[in-house]
Amino acid sequence: MAYRRIPFAPNEWYHLYSQGIDKQNIFVAESDFQRFQALLYLANSIEPVNFELIKAKNISHKDIFTLPRPETLVVIGAYCLMKNHPHLVVQEKQEGGITIFMRKLGTAYTMYFDRKYRRIGNLMVKPFRSKHIDDDRYLRRVVQYVHLNPAEIFERGWKKGKVRNMIALERQLRGYMFSSLPDYFGKRRPESDILDKDAYALFRHDLPQFCDVLEEAAAYYGEIESEFKVKR
């Protein structure tokens, strides 16, 4: 049975995350990551997602992020997509906004993935998990925890405190294109419009250094990973 431990409230920040069922990959090709990024933008609207219209008009990936949205459901402050799990840092703008957004996002992406890979059924663990972020200092640290996710690609021992070259790791993290970190380092790209401009302006000059949050980020993710070991 689906459950929700943490109720959502407008103007509050949350870290949202899930993973593929049985830890299966939910992003196989680069185009899958790009589709999810497009949906982070398109699903964040009071209007329904209409990919058929986009396909009919032959709108390119980069031009998707120029499409007007009458009103957004959530503020997106950060995100990172890994092969078998996504992480988002969002603020609810209106009652029920997070639930509506995540339902639209999950449904649209699962339909795309099932059609592309000829499969049927749920793709990600339901319901998505969440942590309430209850103060500004914690919020900025969680943003960096999320941006640290790809460290496992470049430094597999980072969660055990083993990083061979921190400067190289930071450079590699900034180059990971399926995260909002490049946007925080001033890289202008179409996907930058996924982020809320006010949140970006609020966070960008006051984020902690990765070396200062490495140990606590590892502990934080250990706690998250244990949640998915609970019998569902």
Domains of the chain: 13-227 (3.30.70.1290)
Query: Per-residue pLDDT tens for 68-98?
Result: 998 999 999 999 999 999 999 999 998 999 9
Query: Per-residue pLDDT tens for 90-144?
Result: 999 989 999 999 999 999 999 999 999 999 989 999 889 999 999 999 999 999 9
According to the model, what pLDDT value does residue 4 have? 47
Of 103, 123, 128, 109, residue with least CA distance to 14: 128
Sorted by sequence, the CB contacts under 8 Å of residue 110 that are 6+ apart come out as 122, 123, 124
Q: How confident is the model at residue 174 (pLDDT cuts 50, 70, 90)?
A: very high
Amino acid at 80: C
